[in-house]
Structure 1
Amino acid sequence: MSDTRSDEGRAPNDLLLAVARGGDRAAFSALFRHFAPRLKAYLTRLGAEGALADELVQEVMLTVWRRAGDFDPAQASAATWIFTIARNRRIDGLRREARPEIDPSDPALVPGAPEAADRAIETSQDTARLHAAIAGLPGEQSELLRLAYYEDQPHSAIAERTGLPLGTVKSRLRLALGRLRRTLVDE
């Protein structure tokens, strides 16, 4: 029997139009028998495993039943319309696999306890002291600290950027950190 005819000898377009017009269950059954094995083979070629391919065939045919009224034979054949639905369902499935459902009870998504007020004030004061100590360093040392610790630049990149030898960059950073340590401990 030809691929353009169903088991009852009616064209798939006619069967789909019968489903669209009156919810013809016999026409849908013939469509299902005609397209289900073809859809499964197609979805398998697209990479869907056996059980997933079966599930997708069920979803596609359910969509065909529900949306048969959207079928327009002037736009595409029944086969094209149905296989497009199958292709789109497979793509949707791949997207879901790439972005799994979010588990709201995942510990990574549960916000931490709010910081205690006294600890927040202490952190703020420590930050202000650190900024004041950095501002008290000679300009070149504070710039090297900014590049190394705020911009996370490796020492070699800092040397290249500033035109200083690598050993000079390292010794000036060590000197700057020593001054910061002394300044912060003395306070």
Structure 2
Amino acid sequence: MLTLNMDSPPGEDTVLRASPEGRAVVSEDQTFSQLTVWLLAVRDHRDREAFGDMFDFLAPRLKGFVIRCGARPALAEEIVQDVMLTIWRKAALFDPHKAQASAWIYQIARNRHIDIIRKERRPVPDELAEDPGTEPDASQVLALEQETLHLKQAIARLQPDQREMIEKAYIGDLTHQEISARTGLPLGTVKSRIRLGLGRLRKELKGLR
């Protein structure tokens, strides 16, 4: 069973443990916007609670995806472990302006599965061989529209000072240092407002139905 232990930061020897019932309470149509907030919290604040929630939500879905692509259950669990550790280590590479969180994560899973198949000198299944550069289908377009709408609604409900920092960081694409220089606010204040804003966004998006 896939598990997550966050007593220490994830590393080579980390054992992942997910609670049996899972902490994520996100309806299926909220997957994309919630994943974005979790991933931003991990990327910018190394937020262990957000990582744990993301693990609880993603692990069974990633495992199902990998099994559908031909992996044995035991191998699927191994791949999911690798993928989640990669997400923790490489979260800094995620850019919400360039890719949906779901697409970024599933591409990591796809690449890891292909690597293993090629090492075993087996043919790559059609489900994995599909060109990732192909045009998105209607469901992907709808999911992106939902993510954009939900995030805009949640951002609009933030406190003005938090909303300003979030918009400058994730819409204006400014670094924390650049925001500090432009606003005259101490760097610590900028980081604190962004952290609090992200925390509020997580709660707002979980509450959407």
Larger Rg: 1
Normalized against structure 2, the TM-score is what? Answer: 0.44
Structure with the bigger RCO (C-alpha within 8 Å, sep 6+) is 2
Normalized against structure 1, the TM-score is what? Answer: 0.49
